[in-house]
Structure 1
């Protein structure tokens, strides 16, 4: 999705994102928060994720969307130091 014009229609962008190979196969897609907010808006994007029954995470400057209905578990190696938000 490199080099998108500033005036891309939100329907076209949403269709491209949510029909990508990874999305169709139940994988994970990642998009920059600033691009989502600029092109379609945060609420429209997250509503579309929820409509599909999927889950989205925000980490730093990215949205990570798990394109399936499986539970998400936070994992780390035994003995790893705790991090903020644990």
Structure 2
């Protein structure tokens, strides 16, 4: 699938402008939307650049907008 780089950059930028990002909250996006708009590798790269954490849960990517350590309880 061919993605238009500018549109993907706008979509990605929108994710990281969310209030949850600024407040250390959680951002969730459907895997299929990420794959359609920018690709999972691009999202993972941006999450890593910010020092955040990302998990895949069912059909969603969940981004924990914190650099603090994460512990999965159960």
Shared fold (TM-score, shorter chain, > 0.5):
yes
In structure 2, stretches of 5+ residues that fail to align are none
Query: Matched residues in 1 for 2:14 and 2:59: separation?
Result: 20
Query: Matched residues in 2 for 1:73 and 1:53: separation?
Result: 15
Say how many residue pairs are matched.
70
Higher RCO structure, 1 or 2 (CA under 8 Å, sep 6+): 2
Runs of 4+ in structure 1 displaced over 6 angstroms? Answer: none
Note the alpha carbon deviations across 1:61-80, whole angstroms, 9 max, x for none.
0000001111111224xxxx
Specify which of 52, 58, 63 is matched with residue 50 of structure 2.
Answer: 52
CA radius of gyration, larger in: 1
Higher helix share: 2
In structure 1, stretches of 5+ residues that fail to align are 1-6, 77-86
**Cα RMSD, aligned residues only:** 1.4
